[in-house]
Structure 1
Amino acid sequence: MAPIDPHSFTESTHPLVTHISLSFYFSFPTSTLRSSALYSLPAPHSGPLLLDTRSLSIHSVVDPSTLLPIPFSLSPSPDPIRGQALTLTLDSQSRFLISFSTSPSSSALQWLSPPQTGSKAHPFVFTQCQAIHARSVFPCQDTPAARIRYSALLNLPSPLSSVMSAAKTRSARPPVPGEAPLAAPDDLWCADGRLVEEFSMEQPIPPYLFAFAAGEIGEREVGPRTRVYAEGGPEVLDAAAREFAGAEEMIRVGEGLFGEYEWERFDLLVLPPSFPYGGMENPRMVFLTPTVIKGDATGAQVVAHELAHSWTGNLITNKTNEDFWLNEGFTTYAERRIVEVVQGEDIAALNIGIGWRGLNDEMERFKDNMEFTKLKTKQEGVDPDDVYSQVPYEKGFQFLWRIERQIGRPAFDEFLKKYIATFKFQSIDTETFLDFLVANVPGIENQINLKVWIEGTGIPPDALEPVSTLYTKIVNLAKEFTLGRMPTEDEVADWHGQEWELYIENVPKPVEASQLAALDTRYRLSESKDYEVKVAFLQLAVKSGCKEYFGEVENTLKQVGRMKYLRPLYTAMVQDTKEEEKMIAKRIFSEARDSYHPIAQGVVDSILSKHI
């Protein structure tokens, strides 16, 4: 027997769970969930069955038909990456019921007290299960190789409400005097004044796409298939509705490029600033950081990326995190195709250029461990959060773009639609994709060195920096900066965040502190409301030794928890710097730590431990 995935205890010879019925009782005072889950296998199974857990207390396992106990055990010593294996010993059973509770240290859950929320009135909780954190919410075969359908009952204190990566089927609460109840009092009704909401996910998804959030959540309809939800009050909700008003157009563009949208709804939830990612592609309910709301609809690029996952990632999923590029490389390519239609070729080229610079930066980051500059990586004994990078996104995009250039866009579009239709609702590995590519694009293996692209380190020689008039103009202006020439106000009059981000990323290093200060005096980049611009500038300022910006760096690190911003800023403060800067970074983290999601806490801990 052998594990199916280097990050899971799931055995390749064991059956995979097909459906889970979950019940969660939310205890905000203790930051825990008291839970039960009914699991269904495709057929009766006898012998051991292993599930992944992390920081869970297992109370009982029973046969739901007889209520007789099923023997179980937890591995005594938690694996630092995989957690603990829960071993059940089944006797020709196809269903089993587990009673369990989460821990306040669950790596997937962030519990926010009222002062940490936008409303300041009610608590809030949300999940982030990618890459391998679903196991800290419920026992599961926590590998993308396993696809499950699920239903869930969420029991919440009134007046909170919830959303999930699933369809809401019922909602019930005790009636308010003079008001009709949300649903007829039945088995869902709770006499203690709590709300119970019921959800169902009918399409099979990998466990990392399991998601919920609960708290004071407002909502606004913005299209026939899209509703915007937000924590933070009417102001955030209004801004989100304006920013994402074009979601339906994007869905239609995506359908034209990639085929039918299979998930019925494309709703969006704007979370508190501590959400550790820009967006998370949970089907039916995309999670977003509030930093994507920029006031000029340019945050729609993140929405385009999460929408693209509806085809590449959610429909077809990487079998393990060693094949992560199959999710993110395809999705980055699909995102840019959507952006090209909706926002134009120049904007798409800017996105490719920003990604190109990011890919080159990652080569420097991994210069001592080039394994993680490959598309197909080896991750035995490696925490996927520690090696998360732009490589699968941008090198994966470059690989697909290279194939498109070789065979032409019409032929590649036909290939892409066939690929999605062939493997939808499946989890595949890189070898399966390559076999499909070679079978459907005859001779491609003789035209492109597939081995170099998949198994080679670094950036292949046939990767391509984008070419466009606007892109070239911005890059050339950036190169002139260290010669003492900054862009004129006329030259930047039409610039938005992406243009400034590309400019800053391409300024030759090192930079004189006085030059940066002069640039900031004219254009106030350190005060930008676009965090892509603000953080790019502050990172450059820290690396250039501009101590006058440390206060703004500290404010930023205490305002947001998105790892895209935390990682470069903390790294800049502790990598090749003096002891004073390192101690400042350590102090900031100690003060901001409780406001970060557990995943972000772990990433910053890793950065500081490496350099301090």
Structure 2
Amino acid sequence: MAPVDPHSYTDGAHPVVSHAALSFYLDFSASIIHGSALLTLSAPHSGDLLLDTRALAVHSASTVADPPEPIPFSLAATPDPVLGTALTLALPRDTTSFRLTFSTSPDASALQWLAPPQTASAQPFVYSQCHPIHARSIFPCHDTPAARITFSLLLNVPAKLSAVAAARHVARRDPLLSDHCGACDDDLWCAPGRIVEEFQMEQSVPPYLFAFAAGGIGFRDLGARTRVYAEGGDKMLDEAAREFAGVEEMVRVGEGLFGPYEWERFDLLVLPPSFPYAGMENPRMVFLTPTVIKGDGTGARVVAHELAHSWTGNLITNKTNEHFWLNEGFTKYADRRIVEAVQGEAQVTLSIVLGWRRLNRTMERFKDNMEFTKLKPKMAGIDPDDVYSEVPYEKGFQFLWRIERQIGRPAFEEFLKKYIATFKFQSIDTETFLEFLKTNVPGIENQIDLHLWVEGTGIPPDAMEPDSAIYKKICYLAVEFKSGKLPSEDEVADWSGQEWVLYLENLPTDVESSLVTALDEQYKLSESRDCDVKVAFLQLAILTGCKCYFNEIEKCLKQVGRMRHLRLLYSSLAKDSRKEKMLAQRIFSEAQEFYHPIVRSVVETILSKHN
């Protein structure tokens, strides 16, 4: 066996699945998908073929002949804790396509099922989150970004619900008019009160970008090729439409910087609060947490990042998770260029400062395992979710920014456009990028230590913290806080959430708790609609021993499912006294059903580490 990816059973000597025709019956009462997949290989194959699965029940495998012939298959007896379970098929001679039927587990790591009381629409809801290696818990596949696929998708859902997917919507039709390829028996598929939503994705994507959602979903148009979807009725849709009103302009800015937008539409779906990330860059249908709706339009910065992925990540993809910086470092650079064009240089400089601080904190987090401070770490046997960090984002950004400073922005812009045009719709590794860089920027390896940046641990000495007048003012005000002086209304009049977060993160923690409560009384930070600000303040409250905020901390942990916020609050509680640790354990025991499975696992790791 020649594995192509340390996080997949995919054999590099065999062809991979290039197209998947998927039919899913969504059983909300059991939190299960009954599915079928007609899989087409990139080349004919005979003999054993391995696919990735996780907690899937595989019912049958057959040829596409008429009549179909069964294909022998087996699932490994013991699942690997990271990879899941290998599905081995014994394919007949020169097989190009075959069909599988299967069912997901109620605990599928890529899916979150929400009951009506957990949603704003009072309707059941389900959504997928396949990054980084969770598509295998929805359908058998070569779950590696090295194996890009096109797909079609039929979603059979209750007729009162709507469905969306990261694909082109084809039709909403009666189940009787849709061939479900054996996903379940005819009586179930065609039962009264059901509807089928059909989607097509003609452009190849890595499996982690397979995405769909179903529930009480409505929408508002933002522009000719942009729309926002959300559950929760007119109020949520109106707020989202106001927050993201400038998205169409950002798409145009992105095209000017990076070349044509290749995905036809750029739509947004605001998910329920349990969604674990700020955003997920699924092509054609970006998924967002409702915490990015801040009421002042600054949530568009998150959208800028997901939009930038349309070029760096979705068009050009890291071949494996060991090269994840190729997605996120490039995208962090690209999103800051978009924000600079739309909101100005000062805001971008402040964003880089914030990223610099987070990168330094990440170095502290990994001080006992510096392997994960490399841009290209060795990750065999490591769950990517366990070491998810700012390194690929901010160290990757710093690497590209270093190249830009060396050759100048105009030259780097031309290089970036050529890079995107050359490798679009491909999955590449770091070595491919470096060879392309050295070919197109002759002598760069003599000007920048490329090996140190990619293979070295820590932050290279030629990385740079930007000079920001706003940040210097924030640091000055933070120093004054220790002497008991709060910032004046005039000093913070033009602050957005980004400035407040930097201020709160710079505040000393060896101060009287009364000073922290006085700050909150003046500026109502514990009640901020900007969740980044609220969490930064609540973390300060924990670190300074302000126990009067424990009720607000508990409320926040039970209402917000975004992983970064939960990691900060649970880590702060778990590091503190026995009482705070017990509080963290109790809150998690009561809130865990609200969390996405990925987040649940991360919090369990945090609590066990500090137990």
TM-score interval (norm. to shorter) = over 0.9
Supply the distance in 1 between the matched residues of 2:452 and 2:508 (Cα, whole angstroms): 30
- TM (normalized to structure 2)? 0.97
Supply the distance in 2 between the matched residues of 1:479 and 1:592 (Cα, whole angstroms): 37
**In the TM superposition, what whole-angstrom CA distance separates every residue of 1:477-533 from its partner, at most 9, and x where no partner exists?**
223322333211110011111110111122244443232222112111111110110
Supply the distance in 2 between the matched residues of 1:186 and 1:477 (Cα, whole angstroms): 64
Could you say if the C-alpha distance between residues 48 and 510 of structure 1 is closer, same or farther in structure 2, counting changes exceeding 3 Å?
farther
For residues 331-480 of structure 1, the aligned pairs below 5 Å read 331-480=331-480
User: Quick one: which amino acid aligns to residue 108 of structure 2?
Assistant: S
What stretches of structure 2 of length at least 5 have no aligned partner? 181-188
Supply the distance in 2 between the matched residues of 1:453 and 1:479 (Cα, whole angstroms): 34
Pick which of 542-551 and 384-393 moved more.
Answer: 542-551
SS of 2:478's equivalent? helix
Partner of 1:205: 205
Q: Check the 8 A contact 2:178/2:196 in 1, yes or no.
A: no
**In the TM superposition, what whole-angstrom CA distance separates every residue of 1:411-435 from its partner, at most 9, and x where no partner exists?**
0000000100010000011111111
For residues 70-89 of structure 1, the aligned pairs below 5 Å read 70-89=71-90
User: Quick one: which amino acid aligns to residue 582 of structure 1?
Assistant: K
Moved over 6 A (4+): none
Supply the distance in 1 between the matched residues of 2:218 and 2:471 (Cα, whole angstroms): 39
SS of 2:55's equivalent? coil
What is the Cα deviation at residue 567 of structure 1?
Answer: 0.3
Supply the distance in 1 between the matched residues of 2:496 and 2:178 (Cα, whole angstroms): 54
Supply the distance in 1 between the matched residues of 2:14 and 2:485 (Cα, whole angstroms): 65
Supply the distance in 2 between the matched residues of 1:492 and 1:193 (Cα, whole angstroms): 55
User: Quick one: which amino acid aligns to residue 324 of structure 1?
Assistant: F
Partner of 1:265: 265
Supply the distance in 2 between the matched residues of 1:509 and 1:3 (Cα, whole angstroms): 48
User: Quick one: which amino acid aligns to residue 376 of structure 2?
Assistant: K
Could you say if the C-alpha distance between residues 356 and 512 of structure 1 is closer, same or farther in structure 2, counting changes exceeding 3 Å?
farther
Partner of 1:170: 171
Q: Check the 8 A contact 1:190/1:196 in 2, yes or no.
A: no
Supply the distance in 1 between the matched residues of 2:22 and 2:29 (Cα, whole angstroms): 21
User: Quick one: which amino acid aligns to residue 276 of structure 2?
Assistant: P
SS of 1:26's equivalent? strand
Partner of 1:507: 507
User: Quick one: which amino acid aligns to residue 594 of structure 1?
Assistant: E
CA RMSD in angstroms, aligned pairs only: 1.3
Is 1:119 the counterpart of 2:118 in the alignment? no
Could you say if the C-alpha distance between residues 231 and 531 of structure 1 is closer, same or farther in structure 2, counting changes exceeding 3 Å?
same
Q: How many residues align?
A: 601
Partner of 2:103: 101
Supply the distance in 1 between the matched residues of 2:309 and 2:226 (Cα, whole angstroms): 16
SS of 1:379's equivalent? coil
What is the Cα deviation at residue 476 of structure 1?
Answer: 2.6
Supply the distance in 2 between the matched residues of 1:146 and 1:376 (Cα, whole angstroms): 20
Supply the distance in 2 between the matched residues of 1:484 and 1:470 (Cα, whole angstroms): 21
Pick which of 361-370 and 474-483 moved more.
Answer: 474-483
What percent of counterpart residues are identical?
A: 69
Q: Check the 8 A contact 2:15/2:44 in 1, yes or no.
A: no
For residues 155-304 of structure 1, the aligned pairs below 5 Å read 155-173=156-174, 190=190, 192-304=192-304
SS of 1:385's equivalent? helix
What is the Cα deviation at residue 185 of structure 1?
Answer: 5.5
Supply the distance in 2 between the matched residues of 1:458 and 1:475 (Cα, whole angstroms): 25
User: Quick one: which amino acid aligns to residue 266 of structure 1?
Assistant: F
Q: Check the 8 A contact 1:357/1:506 in 2, yes or no.
A: no
Partner of 2:580: 581
Supply the distance in 2 between the matched residues of 1:609 and 1:512 (Cα, whole angstroms): 30
Supply the distance in 2 between the matched residues of 1:123 and 1:470 (Cα, whole angstroms): 45
SS of 1:202's equivalent? strand
User: Quick one: which amino acid aligns to residue 37 of structure 1?
Assistant: A
User: Quick one: which amino acid aligns to residue 605 of structure 1?
Assistant: E
- TM (normalized to structure 1)? 0.97
Supply the distance in 2 between the matched residues of 1:28 and 1:356 (Cα, whole angstroms): 43
Partner of 1:562: 562
Supply the distance in 2 between the matched residues of 1:443 and 1:315 (Cα, whole angstroms): 28
Supply the distance in 1 between the matched residues of 2:201 and 2:415 (Cα, whole angstroms): 29
SS of 2:17's equivalent? coil
What is the Cα deviation at residue 443 of structure 1?
Answer: 1.1
Could you say if the C-alpha distance between residues 186 and 433 of structure 1 is closer, same or farther in structure 2, counting changes exceeding 3 Å?
closer
SS of 2:6's equivalent? coil
User: Quick one: which amino acid aligns to residue 123 of structure 1?
Assistant: P
**In the TM superposition, what whole-angstrom CA distance separates every residue of 1:206-226 from its partner, at most 9, and x where no partner exists?**
000000000110011111110
What stretches of structure 1 of length at least 5 have no aligned partner? 175-183
